[in-house]
Chains A and B, each alone.
Chain A
Amino acid sequence: MLAQFLQFLFSGITVGSTYALAALGFTLIYNASHVINFAQGEFIMLGGMLAVYFTSSGVSLPLALLLSIAVPALVGMLLEKVAIERVKGAEPVTLIIITIGASLVLRGLVQIWLGKGTFSLPAFSGEEPIRVAGATLMPQSLWVLGVTAIVVCGLWYFFARTLAGKAMLATSVNREAAQLVGINTDGVLFLSFALSAALGALGGILVTPITLTSYDAGIMLGLKGFVGAVLGGLGNGLGAVVGGLIVGVLEAMGAGYLSSSYKDAIPFVLILLILFFRPSGLLGVKATDRV
């Protein structure tokens, strides 16, 4: 009983960490621009796919990992410069459609370049499972959890202690006020895309040894990360992490105890429930309009 529960919990937290990183990415961009970046999932996919590509091309693992984070970050910056910046101030519908278009372009290009196959990465520290109270934990899961925790702490430090981080926070609270005190809000937006993409890519790389990757892995990962962000309260960083983890755990629990064929539906039932009963999310703030 306990063993089974722990098993589901472990796999839920593991994949939930990827969702958490994706949710953080959504939150960063949403805060800087109120854009919901539907291309976030593709950054996750890019991370994993590029890591596979580089390592299988003979590049050393550390360098491959670095490139697999840097390239998506560059892509994110490109997306911001080419698409988002040009339509500043457009309606939400417009921006949503643009990011959906970007996700299609990215996914299609990867499909053309690397094909429709499913790929894996070697686990970072071996495949020997660890036994915990009757459940098995893959070492890679520890990598996922550990690196995610470090990243989240790093981000916390970045936002709380560095000037650049505080500038980003200021922009998310009130864009105009931030501009008035001299913060380069365009730069903040630029940075937020780069950072989100990097976070997503990192998550993608970490989880590939466990869940494998393919050209279309991004859609579900991104959408579920998005559900996590909304669950935690769109715009709240801590909420994003918590939300992502909860989505992962609920998904694993549902798949384990209820039905594994409906595993993918669970996050989306969750988002409908959130929207119906608590649209501001667990930690979010209710918005009001000024006439």
Chain B
Amino acid sequence: MSTALLEARDLSIQFGGVKAVQNVSFQIDPGIVYAVIGPNGAGKTTLFNLITGIYQPTAGSILLDGQPIQGKAPEVLAQLGLARTFQNLQVCLNMSAIENVMLGAHLRLDRNLFKAALRWPALKAQDRALVGEAIELMRFVGLEPYTSARADSMSYGALKRLEIARALAMRPRVLFLDEPAAGLNPKETLEVDALIRKVADTGVTVVLVEHDMKMVMNLSDRILVLDYGRKLAEGTATEVRRNPDVIAAYLGAHA
């Protein structure tokens, strides 16, 4: 019996004739920072979408605590403690920043609509506590100045952190970060790097897809390298850096 929290076995997905992910297997232990890297088109985001329920695999399985979760919808995975952020941002710009964070707590709340309509006192108390919690989370991710702001007034970098706050509001077991540093300047990237460290230190397992090599090498406990949809290597940062196949994939065969 493996002790892995999250495991993939021979995971594959095919879009028509394109084999975007082929026979990928990996194991992620609880509490680590696990990075998925690879050249453009290697299938990293597709793999992500497979694990987080956006796509259904054509073959293989994904196991959470030994239980199969492949093909389950995102809403169900949320109940199992999986949270994710999006490379292209999926923020509710029609709501305020803090409401976006509060949204993350959705599953933990009493959502009865009759009680809501009648302004049940217990519900009101729940909301008040939630606001406090959301403010704390926004502080945690460094968005304190925005606690009264509307989401549509925030910058790209701030919105990326807002998504992380929302994901954390779910009190997840695993946090999936889809290219957290994409589109950020060097200063912002360092801040995100530190934030991910902070999150991992709270015990949440972090899985990220990322292009920024420096960040990945610094942060990750283990790395999975993909190329053309296949697993090229898996190991610690040092192991992966020295792997000749990985070097060839990134820099060409005669580097």
User: Do A and B share a direct contact in the complex (Cβ within 8 angstroms)?
Assistant: yes
Chain A, Cβ-Cβ closest to B86: A291
Majority DSSP secondary structure for residues of B touching A: loop
CA distance A174 to B176 in the complex (A): 32
Which residues in A have their C-beta under 8 angstroms from that of B86?
Answer: 291
Majority DSSP secondary structure for residues of A touching B: loop
Which residues in B have their C-beta under 8 angstroms from that of A291?
Answer: 49, 54, 86
CA distance A291 to B86 in the complex (A): 9
CA distance A291 to B45 in the complex (A): 10
Cβ-Cβ contact count across A and B, 8 Å cutoff:
3
Give the A interface residue count (CB, 8 A). Answer: 1
A-contact bits for B25-64, CB 8 A (1 contact / 0 none): 0000000000000000000000001000010000000000
Chain B, Cβ-Cβ closest to A291: B54
Tell me the smallest distance from the CB of A88 to a CB of chain B, in Å: 19
Q: Which residues 206-223 in B have Cβ within 8 Å of A in the complex? A: none
B-contact bits for A254-291, CB 8 A (1 contact / 0 none): 00000000000000000000000000000000000001
Which residues in A have their C-beta under 8 angstroms from that of B49?
Answer: 291
CA distance A291 to B54 in the complex (A): 8
Chain A, Cβ-Cβ closest to B87: A291
Tell me the smallest distance from the CB of B32 to a CB of chain A, in Å: 26
CA distance A124 to B143 in the complex (A): 74
Tell me the smallest distance from the CB of B88 to a CB of chain A, in Å: 8
Chain A, Cβ-Cβ closest to B54: A291
Which residues in A have their C-beta under 8 angstroms from that of B54?
Answer: 291
Q: Which residues 63-122 in B have Cβ within 8 Å of A in the complex? A: 86
Tell me the smallest distance from the CB of B203 to a CB of chain A, in Å: 28
Tell me the smallest distance from the CB of A11 to a CB of chain B, in Å: 45
CA distance A203 to B86 in the complex (A): 49
Tell me the smallest distance from the CB of A227 to a CB of chain B, in Å: 32
Chain A, Cβ-Cβ closest to B45: A291
CA distance A291 to B90 in the complex (A): 10
Chain A, Cβ-Cβ closest to B55: A291
For the complex of A and B, 3 pairs with smallest distance between CB atoms: A291-B54, A291-B49, A291-B86
- List 3 contacting pairs A-B, 8 Å CB cutoff, sorted by A: A291-B49, A291-B54, A291-B86
